[in-house]
Structure 1
Amino acid sequence: MTTYKKGKQPDGGKYLAFDHIRFWVGNALQAASFYCTRLGFEPFAYRGLETGSRETVAHAVKQNKAVFVFESALVPGNDQMGEHQKRHGDGVKDVSFTVDDCEKVFQASVQRGAQVVHPVWTESDEFGSVTFAQVKTYGDTIHTFVERKNYSGVFLPGFKKSEQTDNLLEKLPKVGLNFIDHVVGNQPEQKMETVAEWYENILQFHRFWSVDDRQLSTEYSSLRSIVVTNFEETVKMPINEPAPGKRKSQIQEYVDFYGGAGVQHIAINTNDIIHAVQSCRDRGMKFLSVPGTYYSQLKDKLKESNITITEDIDMLQKLKILVDYDENGYLLQIFTKPVQDRPTLFIEIIQRHNHQGFGVGNFKALFEAIEADQAARGNLV
């Protein structure tokens, strides 16, 4: 594992945080409902026929600072969304960043060679205006720069506050997810380095953390990963690729079923993972499972460490929550099973205790859990 120091403050505006994640899906209403009932999001904002949007419908859901937007075509003949759906199935189209100055961020990226999806434009309503621009990143995924400092509306112009009522949501336990911690992009083999360099050269991100297949492997499969981040280290983007192994890795399985590079998982931060996971399980969310031997080995290792885990290890074992640590602190994490029929996108829940890593100590156990699911799908070949 390698960690890196950040370089000088880049010119051309700041990336402040993840703004929202936009999914292109076959049925936005039903997709939004799944994330509300299973993961504790709540209806937030809506754009569709009733708001004057005649081509697409979008349901935004929110949990504290984490915002997901699910968008679908309303009418036949939307070839762009139709081709995306045919190739990728449901998936992330847009990882949006809040920026301090959209014009500066966009122009700086274009000067460095960004492929433009949409140049700077502004949308307005009675609550003010928001400025946007879009550039292409890996696969069919894009980044939207969102400057919203002059806007006081519920979400974005064109959206109204969601009027959906669901009595079921009021009866379900609160989850307590707080914000998007990181967004992971899977690449075909030998493409990771090129994508990482794109973030460095085009967006002026810097390398934060990396591991290779000597550290992330099992008997059957392995991967390589580079994490890039903005100067303030508030936007973290791990970039993965498969490494050669005896059988198909989880990264290659993703690439095969998604039809190329794309967002593999979204990690959401919480300050109480035990409560969050128990609530999600009570809501019917399915998680990957690791063997009990993981926890007996963990207890033995912790006896020789100066790190004290404040959470109850037996409860972590009951809920199948993973633990990784170093000399400074520890993190707790768990991964859902894929959240759609294709074995592509899944969600991670993570809690950090003075630990800014990505669970390298858990990758072997995680890989083995994923490989068990791959075998059940007939894809561990």
Structure 2
Amino acid sequence: MTAHDIEYIEIYTADQQRTADYFVSGFGFRERARSRTDRLESVLLSQLGIQIVVSSGPAAEEFIAAHGDGIADVAFACEDVSATRDGAVAAGARLLPTADGEPPAVTGFGGVRHSLVRRLPGESAQLPPGRGWTPVTEPAAAAAPDASGADVPGLRRLDHIAVCIEAGRLYDQARFYIEGFGFEQYSSEYVTFGEQAMDSVVVRSPSTGITFTIVEPDATKEPGQLDEFLKRNGGSGVQHLAFLVDEIVPAVLTFESRGVEFLQTPGTYYDALAERISGLEETITDLRKANVLADRDEWGYLLQLFTRSPFERRTLFFELIQRQGAQGFGSSNIRALYEAVELARTATS
């Protein structure tokens, strides 16, 4: 009953070409295959072990109307599909109808489903089954070396998936993945920032190939960004995908030059960074240049930065993360950013 890896992520979008171009031109994904039916037109993009399916068509219209462009399927790789399916249903999931040849699928959270694909641990991900894919023989050259011959920074793997759910459902949702898919609870944390607060639980597969950070707003506090996401998304959904990179500063600068928009960090954040995290003094100038955030835990430190959402409803966005031993997810940056914005606001008022 254990899911061990992410097989693929499927995004439903009203503008397939524009969304696919965002990943290819911006992040260096390559187009691998295309499929077309009377219900759905899809393009499969890949980069190392990351597979993203971008789809549009009549089968996607109900999801898009309810949630806007976003992630409709987080497909799990399973050693035993039948056992995983039965375990998920026993934990409360509903079995969803699928077309001939497609893998079984169960409900997850909000409008997001989980297709269950048979793949043994250690095997490479394959084309999503049941689509009638036509391979693309000449992939886009966005991920090729640049004119100087240097390798362009790329994405190493999917680090984690951030899931935002309605207040009061956090622990039930975490329990669903533990009981239904064999995940384990990795950590939990309650974070306050100003008059707002959120609660979070991290669950992951024993293989560590799947990590969900599940967050909910504290309904007793002032509404904030999580409440805004839930409103714009029409309920629970995937808030962001986090991609692991080797060197975040050159990656940010490269992707930014290709049109990816990242969030801007107030200068006051870096004024306090050396005091908050020791050992980064020599790199703060570079971090400031790229707007990169930093956090430390007992195992090391991490660097991270978030994109602006490229979608109309401003829901789904993306994260780059560089880990130097750290095993956390940068929760201290929420408070640090809040304090930095307040310092900047009071300095100009």
Q: Same fold (TM over 0.5)?
A: yes
**Distance of 1:45 and 1:369 partners within structure 2:** 45
Q: Which residue of 1 aligns with 2:24?
A: 36
The letter of the residue matching 2:231 is D
Partner residue of 2:54 out of 70, 88, 106: 70
Distance 1:69 1:311 in 2: 40
Q: Kindly state the Cα deviation for residue 100 of structure 1 after the two structures are TM-superposed.
A: 1.6
> Which SS does the other structure have where 2:156 is aligned?
strand
Shift of 1:32: 0.5
2-structure distance, mates of 1:254, 1:297? 29
Q: Is the 8 A contact 1:183 1:236 kept in 2?
A: yes
Distance 2:178 2:155 in 1: 30
Within 5 Å, give how 1:1-381 maps onto structure 2: 12=1, 14-48=2-36, 53-73=37-57, 78=58, 80-118=59-97, 123=101, 132-148=103-119, 155-157=127-129, 158-163=132-137, 174-212=152-190, 216-244=191-219, 247-303=222-278, 308-309=279-280, 312-366=283-337
Taking the aligned partners of 1:324 and 1:292, their CA distance within structure 2 comes to: 16
Counterpart of 1:61, as a letter, is L
* Residues 368, 95 of structure 1: alpha-carbon distance in 2 compared, 3 angstrom cutoff: farther
Distance, in Å, in 1 between the alignment partners of 2:184 and 2:164 is 18
Q: Which amino acid aligns with 1:180?
A: L
State the 1:84 CA deviation: 1.4
Q: Alpha-carbon deviation of 1:289?
A: 1.5
Instruction: Tell me how far apart the structure 2 counterparts of residues 283 and 254 of structure 1 sit (CA, whole Å).
Output: 26
CA distance in 2, matches of 1:153, 1:198: 25
What amino acid maps onto 2:33 in structure 1? A
Flag the 1:67–1:309 CA change in 2: closer, same or farther, 3 A.
farther
Separation in structure 2 between the aligned mates of residue 338 and residue 260 of structure 1, nearest angstrom: 17
Alpha-carbon separation, structure 2, partners of 1:335 and 1:205: 26
Native 8 Å contact 1:66 1:179 kept in 2: yes
Cα distance between partner residues in 2 of 1:113 and 1:165 = 41
| 3-state SS of paired residue (1:338) | coil
Change (3 A) 1:186 1:109: same
Shift of 1:180: 0.7
Q: In structure 2, how many angstroms separate the alpha carbons of the residues matched to 1:219 and 1:293?
A: 17
Unpaired runs of at least 5, structure 1: 1-11, 124-130, 372-381
Q: Which amino acid aligns with 1:236?
A: T
Residue matched to 1:8: none
Say whether the 8 Å CA contact 2:28–2:47 is kept in structure 1. yes
SS at match of 1:312: helix
Q: CA–CA distance in 2 between the matches of 1:310 and 1:20?
A: 39
- What's the TM-score, normalizing by structure 1? 0.80
Shift of 1:43: 1.2
Aligned to 2:347: none
d(CA) in 1 for partners of 2:103 and 2:282?
Answer: 43
Matches of 1:233 and 1:333 in 2, distance apart?
Answer: 20
User: Structure 1 residues 104 and 362 mapped into 2: Cα distance closer, same or farther (>3 Å)?
Assistant: same
Deviations 1:34-78 (A, max 9, x none): 111122212122112xxxx332110111121111111111xxxx3
Aligned residues of 1:98 and 1:147 also touching (Cα < 8 A):
yes
Q: TM-score, normalised by structure 2?
A: 0.87
Aligned counterparts of 1:153 and 1:248: Cα–Cα separation in 2: 40
**Unmatched 5+ stretches in structure 2:** 343-349
Judge conservation of contact 1:29–1:59 (CA < 8 Å) in 2: no
3-state SS, counterpart of residue 193 of structure 1: helix
Using the TM superposition, give the Cα deviation of residue 104 of structure 1 relative to its aligned residue in structure 2, in angstroms. Answer: 2.2
Q: How many equivalent pairs are there?
A: 335
Q: Distance in 2 between matches of 1:225 and 1:186?
A: 9
By how many angstroms is 1:353 displaced? 1.4
CA distance in 2, matches of 1:294, 1:363: 11
Shift of 1:247: 4.3
Counterparts of 1:369 and 1:40, CA distance in 2: 32
Whether the 8 Å CA contact 1:253–1:343 is kept in 2: the answer is no
Distance apart, 1:226 and its partner CA = 0.9
